[in-house]
Amino acid sequence: MTVGILGLGLIGGSMARAYSLEGHTVYAIQRNEQMLRFAMMTGAVHGRLDETTIPECDLILLAIYPGGCVTWLRENAHLIRKDALVMDAAGIKRDICESCFPIAEEYGFTFVGGHPMAGSQFSGFKYSRASLFRGQPMVLVPPRFDDIDLLDRCKSVLAPLGFGRFSVTTADDHDRMIAFTSQMPHILSNAFIKSPTAGSHKGFSAGSYKDLTRVAWLNAPMWAELCMENKDHVLSELNFYIDSLTAYRNALESGDMEKLTALLDEGKRRKEEVDG
């Protein structure tokens, strides 16, 4: 299989390493020329993804910011084979799918929205690894839900990445869920670490601090774009969280031990309910 990859950050770079490790040919494009050359030196990439190699690709993976995915696809759609499969790996789906489904239909190839549920607080090719996706979930947003052959095809071409589970959903349902499971945790972690107390935490922090602050280390431009393009769902979750925090603050301010205990117990029971 010949795979084209747009972007060699953590996600794209890990994809390149995984496909190369399984013996597939990988072409890539990366804005940082030095990083592209380094990826070629490591053997993760075998050549450049350009007007001469795009037509060779059976699978093209778009692993950059959402806006960049749409722009690249629009500019290069005429070079993509009609039997090729194109999939993005961005953290939101509505804007990408609304733009890319029509482009694919116009030029005759197939586009499927994708979101690999794997990552790290670190970014860049140097942190990429072939095992990043192994056992992790993959979310698919197909143009049609009754196309079982397409879903089987997606699973087949993605097999070298080693995903443990596939979920199929709509673009809106994906963005609503991802506001809660991904974008909100990054906002909360990023806001929490701004406390003036954080500067002197060493010697007083353990697992709970590390768990809560891990994703405060983020790619700010990328996460700002993801949150802004999904702001309706993010605001809904953020407003609910602020209301919840206000209840805890009110209990503390009023010295209401019974209320505070009830709030904490409610949260514990909710965790048991949703996580089994």
Same-domain pairing of 158 and 181: no
**79 and 114 housed in the same domain:** yes
What pLDDT, on the 0 to 100 scale, is given for residue 135?
Answer: 97
Same structural domain, 22 and 42: yes
57, 112: one domain: yes
Please check whether residues 28 and 70 belong to one and the same domain: yes
pLDDT at 219 (0 to 100): 87
- 29 and 148 belong to one structural domain: yes
Q: Report the alpha-carbon distance of residue 115 to residue 183 in Å, rounded.
A: 13
Would you state the pLDDT for residue 227? Answer: 95
In the predicted structure, residue 202 carries a pLDDT above the cut 90: no
Residues 160 and 181 grouped into a single domain: no
Task: Tell me what pLDDT residue 120 has.
Answer: 77
Tell me the average pLDDT across 231-241. Answer: 98
Residue pair 130/14 in contact by the 8 Å Cβ criterion: yes
* Tens digits of residue pLDDT in 129-182: 999 999 999 999 999 988 999 999 999 999 999 999 999 999 999 999 999 999
Taking a C-beta distance cutoff of 8 angstroms, is the pair 126, 17 a contact?
no
pLDDT of 274 higher than 90: yes
- Name the band, by pLDDT with cuts 50, 70 and 90, for residue 205: confident
Domain holding 255, by residue range, is 174-275
pLDDT recorded at residue 206: 85
Domain count, the chain: 2
pLDDT score recorded for residue 56: 98
Domain-ending residue, one of 117, 134, 169: 169
Same-domain pairing of 98 and 205 = no
State whether 224 and 180 are in the same domain: yes
276 pLDDT exceeds 90?
no
Boundary-marking domain end, from 113, 146, 169: 169
Calculate ∠ Cα 94-36-125, nearest 5°.
Answer: 65
Q: What share of the chain has pLDDT > 70, as a percent?
A: 100
Residue 185: count other Cβ atoms within 10 Å of its Cβ: 14
For residue 181, the domain's CATH number is 1.10.3660.10
pLDDT surpasses 90 at 35:
yes
Pick from 106, 141, 169: which residue ends a domain?
169
pLDDT digits (tens, 9 = 90+) for 84-105: 999 999 999 999 999 999 999 9
CB under 8 Å to 72, separation ≥6 — which residues? Answer: 6, 62, 64
**What are the tokens at 139?**
């979310």
Question: Model confidence at 119, in pLDDT bands (50, 70, 90)?
Answer: confident
Same domain, 17 and 120: yes
pLDDT given at position 83: 97
**Mean of pLDDT over the chain:** 95
> DSSP letters of the chain?
-EEEEE--SHHHHHHHHHHHHTT-EEEEE-SSHHHHHHHHHHTS--EE-STTTGGG-SEEEE-S-HHHHHHHHHHHGGGS-TT-EEEE--S--HHHHHHHHHHHHHHT-EEEEEEE----S--SGGG--TTTTTT-EEEEE-S-TT-HHHHHHHHHHHGGG--SEEEE--HHHHHHHHIIIIIHHHHHHHHHTTSGGGGG-TTS--HHHHHHHGGGS--HHHHHHHHHHTHHHHHHHHHHHHHHHHHHHHHHHTT-HHHHHHHHHHHHHHHHHHH-
Strands 110-116 and 137-141: antiparallel
The domain spanning residue 61 has which CATH number? 3.40.50.720
CA of residue 63 relative to chain centroid, distance: 9
The pLDDT, as a whole number, for residue 194 is: 96
Q: What confidence tier does 19 reach under pLDDT thresholds 50, 70, 90?
A: very high
Give yes or no: residues 183 and 120 share one domain.
no
Q: Is the pLDDT of residue 187 over 90?
A: yes
Question: Are 228 and 265 contained in the same domain?
Answer: yes
pLDDT (0 to 100) of residue 117: 93
